[in-house]
Structure 1
Amino acid sequence: MNLIENVREALTSVKVNLLRTVLTGAIIAIGISSLVGMLTAIDGIKAQIAESFAGLGANSFDIQNRGFNGGRVVQEGKTEKSYPSITFREAWKFKEDYTAIGQATVFTTVSGAAEVKRGSKTTNPNTRVRGADENYLSIKAIKLAKGRNFSQMEIRYGTAVAIIGKEMEETLFESNEDPMNQKINMFGRPYTVIGVLEKQGGVGRDQGADRQILIPVENASRLDQRGTFNYRITGVASDPGKLEYEMGQATGIMRKIRQDRVAQEDSFELTKSQSVAESLEEVAGYLRIGGFGIGFITLLGASIGLMNIMLVSVTERTREIGIRKALGATPHRIRQQFLMEAITICVVGGLFGMMLGIGIGNIIANFIGPGGFLVPWLWMIISFFICIAVGLIAGYIPASKASRLDPIESLRYE
């Protein structure tokens, strides 16, 4: 018997024992689907989160309070110097000075639990109100569904105008109403709606991006009665290749504004936006390792089940093996035949498991956050080779047992 005949015999055996093949393939399919499904879901979720940061680009950086809250910095259990928060005037002065180099935006969070009213309609107290300038939408890659952006005059004089999120429009206005130039009330003050943001969605149940309202940052600063608002700056370099150089210039500008002495460390923190993507990739890498480990354990259980079924198959076909040996089949060919059967079952089950895993993974990813359909070609190729490896490992012991059977004893087996 040559290799081609062995393949044919393996396929014939698979067809004859169809129920056993289906059950065995199902074991492999479950193992592969869990592996591919988890990895697909992780890649899908990562792609959605990465898309949120894609607008920041690789040539932007953030300036914020040192220690993220303007308070005392704690390192290695030791409380260091307390740094004052970045004030609105300092942030605005930086924006004006940095204009000669690149573009910058100043923004702050006014409230994360505001209540907005319009006539008899009132939102839940979970609306995010943020103060921003005219550059905020372009730098953060946020698009308008209708209306316009803040004008320079509105930013300069802190006019009571607002750009609302899509969910705010749906909550406060009827479907046939135009929200443009309509009045809404928050913090006891009326604001005129001048724009509506495109629907952005979110991860899981957090749809905060569609529940936000933007107001001019000058107007927001007037609401800062206690001086506790955390003002942040995002700068954009003129060219990605000049990012490090222009970050150095930005540091010099900010040190001058903050009046940091020559020997004194920076009283603020400057972070590349690209580091967010790098951190995200690092976390996704750990998730992939965990997902691969869990999937591998499931697949290991499936391979043990396959080996058990193949051992039963050898016992059932003892007389058949004896006849083949009596007709001249060598132990090598017998071993090869059973290995081919195991690999065939694994590949068939694996292909079904891959399709099932891709479907499950995309369903999970889209349930957590709306996104596209992801086809993980890398994991599919890896899974295909894993199927072959599982077939070889799980089929070797049964095949080896079959090849060592004595032909005379096999023919006598009942």
Structure 2
Amino acid sequence: MSVNMSYSENVRLALQSIVSNKLRTFLTALIIAIGIMALIGVLTSIDAIQSSLTNSFSSMGSNSFTIRNRGINVQIGGSGNRPKAFPAITYANAQAFKENYDFGATVSLNVNVTWGATVKYMENKTNPNIGVLGADENYLQTTGYKLSDGRNFTSQDIDNANPVVIIGQEVKTKLFKNNKKPVGEYITIGGVRFTIVGVLESKGSSAGFGSDKTCIIPISRGRMLMGGANPSFVITVMTNDPYKMDAAEGEAIATLRKVRSLNAKQSNDFEILKSDAVAQMLMQNLTYVTLGAIVIAFITLVGASIGLMNIMLVSVTERTREIGIRKAIGATPSVIRKQFLIEAIVICLLGGIAGVLLGITIGNLLALALGADFIIPWRWMFLGISVCIGVGMLSGYYPASKASKLDPVESLRYE
């Protein structure tokens, strides 16, 4: 009997044994399936959520950082020094940075015009809590804002300080009833008339503020509305490659220090804020959940492997005469060992395949319920099948070894 024939024969005999013991096989495979389902299900849902988070935070600027003026540095002690107020980042500073920063990144500028504007459209008006932001044509891209209707600013809008505006969803809902399209309509902000050219998608608000309560106007128009005020402008840099963030930050620091004429002994009078801190925290928490799922699945699979080993030992006892007959007609201990080992692996694979399919289904249903996308976790599928083969080999080795060592004469006498 060739090696190939022995494997084929062993698989056939394993399937025959499985068919003849349907209930026992089903219960064993079910335990395996539950363990694999728990593992694959949680890992699939976590992968889908991580993918969704990555996409979400990428669109929100996780590949970006913000440069702004440093706050007041309060010095505590008896030196008598007054708190140090760092100079604002002027429009000239911000514009010079944008023109001189050469890192293959997208740079946007913005400035807060006011947080307490009242916006009017005909007889409708908002509460005096609308934020007005002056921004350039790159602002939406670097911050991840998307338009539900209309267009972004053009370079002509910025150069000519055109009286155009992009409004948030809450402003739209408050001013325009009956689903009227706001694009092309005129509104007044602080008594100044603007033409609506775009509407932002809803992003929600935090602490009462957010894009839903925002009106974005060209930065040049915002400077005109602020008159003689000396605000500090904010610079946002978005890199194309997240792995180059550190290099991009270093280049940004060097560029702005040069723009602001700081010498080597002077510390930075500005600060850089990364926008991926929340994403990193969420990813870390998901890592803990992943570890917990692996531990739970491992415990379940240990129980399943013990149950499978017990069933295989019972199978060896029940088939003692069959083993004796096979040995009597020339089957070697190696062939007998392979037969029972393959039978254990086949049972594990049946349960594993069912567990993988159930796990992918349940994991994606959970992910979809949480707003994530559907994914096919190929690596977890291969992991699940590999684990099943490993469990089958570990659980089946001792019973298979015991079967291969049975004495053929004693086995034939067994009743």
Whether TM exceeds 0.5 here: the answer is yes
Judged with a 3 Å threshold, the aligned counterparts in structure 2 of structure 1 residues 20 and 83 are, in CA distance, closer, same or farther, namely: farther
Q: Partners of 1:86 and 1:368 in 2: how far apart?
A: 45
Q: Where in structure 2 are there 5+ consecutive unaligned residues?
A: 76-81
1:164 aligns with 2:187: no
Q: 1:235 aligns with which of 237, 255, 278?
A: 237
Q: Partners of 2:122 and 2:183 in 1: how far apart?
A: 16
1:390 equivalent in structure 2: 391
Following TM superposition, by how much is the alpha carbon of 1:169 offset from its aligned partner in structure 2, in angstroms?
A: 4.3
Q: Partners of 1:101 and 1:370 in 2: how far apart?
A: 39
One-letter amino acid of the counterpart of residue 62, structure 1: T
Q: Partners of 1:399 and 1:82 in 2: how far apart?
A: 80
1:92 equivalent in structure 2: 91
Following TM superposition, by how much is the alpha carbon of 1:140 offset from its aligned partner in structure 2, in angstroms?
A: 4.0
**1:291-302 → structure 2 map (5 Å cutoff):** 291-292=290-291, 294-302=293-301
Q: 1:51 aligns with which of 48, 52, 55?
A: 55
Q: For the Cα contact (< 8 Å) 2:25–2:347, is it kept in 1?
A: yes
One-letter amino acid of the counterpart of residue 3, structure 1: Y
Q: Which segment drifts farther, 213-222 or 379-388? A: 213-222
2:303 equivalent in structure 1: 304
What's the Cα RMSD here? 4.9
Following TM superposition, by how much is the alpha carbon of 1:345 offset from its aligned partner in structure 2, in angstroms?
A: 1.5
Q: Partners of 1:305 and 1:242 in 2: how far apart?
A: 47
Q: Partners of 1:19 and 1:115 in 2: how far apart?
A: 73
**1:40-119 → structure 2 map (5 Å cutoff):** 40-54=44-58, 61-66=65-70, 70-72=71-73, 84=85, 87=88, 90-101=89-100, 104-107=107-110
Q: Partners of 1:14 and 1:323 in 2: how far apart?
A: 15
Q: 1:344 aligns with which of 343, 346, 358?
A: 346
One-letter amino acid of the counterpart of residue 344, structure 2: A
Judged with a 3 Å threshold, the aligned counterparts in structure 2 of structure 1 residues 326 and 233 are, in CA distance, closer, same or farther, namely: same
**1:312-331 → structure 2 map (5 Å cutoff):** 312-315=311-314, 318-328=317-327, 329-331=331-333
Following TM superposition, by how much is the alpha carbon of 1:306 offset from its aligned partner in structure 2, in angstroms?
A: 3.6
2:137 equivalent in structure 1: 134
Q: For the Cα contact (< 8 Å) 1:91–1:232, is it kept in 2?
A: no
Judged with a 3 Å threshold, the aligned counterparts in structure 2 of structure 1 residues 49 and 313 are, in CA distance, closer, same or farther, namely: closer
2:360 equivalent in structure 1: 358
Following TM superposition, by how much is the alpha carbon of 1:141 offset from its aligned partner in structure 2, in angstroms?
A: 5.3
One-letter amino acid of the counterpart of residue 178, structure 1: K
Following TM superposition, by how much is the alpha carbon of 1:386 offset from its aligned partner in structure 2, in angstroms?
A: 1.2
TM-score, with structure 2 as normaliser = 0.72
Judged with a 3 Å threshold, the aligned counterparts in structure 2 of structure 1 residues 339 and 133 are, in CA distance, closer, same or farther, namely: same
How many residues in Structure 1 have an aligned counterpart in Structure 2?
A: 394
**1:126-275 → structure 2 map (5 Å cutoff):** 131-140=134-143, 142-150=145-153, 162-165=165-168, 169=172, 173-174=176-177, 176-182=179-185, 193-197=196-200, 199=201, 211=212, 213-216=214-217, 217=219, 231-235=233-237, 250-255=252-257, 258=260, 260-270=262-272
Q: For the Cα contact (< 8 Å) 1:39–1:292, is it kept in 2?
A: no
One-letter amino acid of the counterpart of residue 13, structure 1: S
2:79 equivalent in structure 1: none
Following TM superposition, by how much is the alpha carbon of 1:11 offset from its aligned partner in structure 2, in angstroms?
A: 0.9
Q: Where in structure 1 are there 5+ consecutive unaligned residues?
A: 75-80
One-letter amino acid of the counterpart of residue 23, structure 1: L
Judged with a 3 Å threshold, the aligned counterparts in structure 2 of structure 1 residues 313 and 104 are, in CA distance, closer, same or farther, namely: closer
Judged with a 3 Å threshold, the aligned counterparts in structure 2 of structure 1 residues 137 and 397 are, in CA distance, closer, same or farther, namely: same
1:23 equivalent in structure 2: 27
Q: Partners of 1:239 and 1:302 in 2: how far apart?
A: 41
Following TM superposition, by how much is the alpha carbon of 1:409 offset from its aligned partner in structure 2, in angstroms?
A: 6.1
One-letter amino acid of the counterpart of residue 298, structure 1: A
Following TM superposition, by how much is the alpha carbon of 1:109 offset from its aligned partner in structure 2, in angstroms?
A: 6.6
Q: Partners of 2:413 and 2:126 in 1: how far apart?
A: 84
Q: Partners of 1:179 and 1:172 in 2: how far apart?
A: 9
Q: Partners of 2:377 and 2:371 in 1: how far apart?
A: 18
TM-score, with structure 1 as normaliser = 0.72
Judged with a 3 Å threshold, the aligned counterparts in structure 2 of structure 1 residues 210 and 100 are, in CA distance, closer, same or farther, namely: closer
Following TM superposition, by how much is the alpha carbon of 1:369 offset from its aligned partner in structure 2, in angstroms?
A: 2.7
One-letter amino acid of the counterpart of residue 55, structure 2: E
1:78 equivalent in structure 2: none
SS at match of 1:179: coil
Following TM superposition, by how much is the alpha carbon of 1:299 offset from its aligned partner in structure 2, in angstroms?
A: 3.3
One-letter amino acid of the counterpart of residue 343, structure 1: I
Q: For the pair shown, which has the larger CA radius of gyration, 1 or 2?
A: 2
Following TM superposition, by how much is the alpha carbon of 1:97 offset from its aligned partner in structure 2, in angstroms?
A: 0.8
One-letter amino acid of the counterpart of residue 21, structure 2: N
One-letter amino acid of the counterpart of residue 31, structure 1: G
In percent, how many aligned pairs have the same letter?
A: 38
2:375 equivalent in structure 1: 374
One-letter amino acid of the counterpart of residue 299, structure 1: F
